[in-house]
Amino acid sequence: MGVILKRMMLRAASSIADRLHIDALVTGEAISQVSSQTLPNLSVIDCVTEKLVLRPLIASHKQDIIDLAVEIGTADFAKHMPEYCGVISVNPKTHAKRHRVEHEEKEFDMAVLERAIERAKLVPIDRVIDELGQDVQIEEVSEALAGQIVIDIRHPDAEEDQPLELAGIEVKALPFYALNARFKELDPTRQYLLYCDKGVMSRLHAHHLLSEGHANVRVYRPS
């Protein structure tokens, strides 16, 4: 999953680079920091672009990268970088086979990627960093109260493997990819707590719903 996701990211980056007449791409990957960043996997990832891919941190230690991020002022930005639990493999591969990856990608609707590229917004990195912490405030709770509804937004496979059960609390399964479209169908007089394994995806979706004017949304992070 991670290899295919990064191949899609590289395709998108290459397309935008073509638009801007840029000859090389730069990523922050370091060898074996995560399963998708082994040398065999990076080789499979790079196959989707003719651009030169530069990786200045490729042999860096994780703590050295963190220290550098603090020094140049990007640590806070990196700390809030989303990691979607919906695209995390249960059994990640450290030596992906190119033919297998290409076979799996045939099931993907590339029109989805093209639409995402068409809608891309170019924002200077300094502006992104300046805007950190100036956005919608998202409330997190560690305990669900009577009358509140917990919405489990995990992928159905994850929800089936480890169902969320809370005594005396209604739990509603509504996967993240359907949440925004179906949230308006829910009772607006109730309060909803979004739940996912890492809490990142639930925060992102809570942010979107709050931005849309739904004030009855919180994030559920059990302790």
Q: Is 85 a catalytic residue?
A: no
Give the active site residue among 10, 30, 196, 219. Answer: 196
Exposure string over 6-30, b if 16+ CB within 10 A, otherwise e: bbbebbebbbebeeeeeeebebebb
**Which ranges of the chain does DSSP label H, i.e. alpha helix?**
2-19, 39-46, 62-72, 75-79, 98-105, 110-118, 125-130, 156-161, 176-182, 200-211
- 173 within 8 A of 149, measured Cβ to Cβ: no
Active site residues: 196
